[in-house]
């Protein structure tokens, strides 16, 4: 497994956390700015692409593929856990 993943430094984790916070911040305000769902989806894809570009530009990984695999594993895990918390625990508690 080690050849597919890259160890992340503290700076990498802080940058990823900051970008996740920016993404969540956008999700909180996009419904006010953009009335249509398709508009939100288009802007969300552009924003995610820009944030991941910034992540790679700020951290400048040596082994890009392994770094991307590590970031993907963390991001997908975070999305799955967050979705479970929001849709199963919070929505079913009412």
**pLDDT, position 6:** 86
Could you tell me the pTM of the whole model? 0.75
- Statement: residue 57 has pLDDT above 90: yes
**pLDDT, position 91:** 65
Q: Where are the domains of the chain?
A: 10-93
Asked if residues 25 and 83 have their Cβ atoms less than 8 Å apart, the reply is no
Asked if residues 47 and 23 have their Cβ atoms less than 8 Å apart, the reply is yes
For 22-42, how does the pLDDT look when each residue is reduced to its tens digit (9 = 90+)?
A: 888 888 888 888 888 888 888
Torsion of CA 60, 65, 70, 75, to 10 degrees: 90
């Amino acid at each position: 497994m080690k050849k597919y993943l890259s160890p992340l430094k503290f700076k990498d984790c802080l940058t990823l956390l900051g970008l996740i916070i920016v993404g969540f911040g956008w999700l909180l305000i996009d419904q006010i700015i953009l009335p249509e769902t398709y508009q939100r989806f288009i802007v969300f894809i552009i924003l995610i692409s820009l944030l991941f570009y910034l992540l790679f530009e700020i951290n400048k990984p040596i082994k890009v593929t392994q770094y991307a695999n590590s970031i993907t594993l963390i991001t997908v895990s975070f999305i799955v856990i967050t979705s479970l918390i929001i849709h199963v625990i919070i929505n079913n508690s009412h």
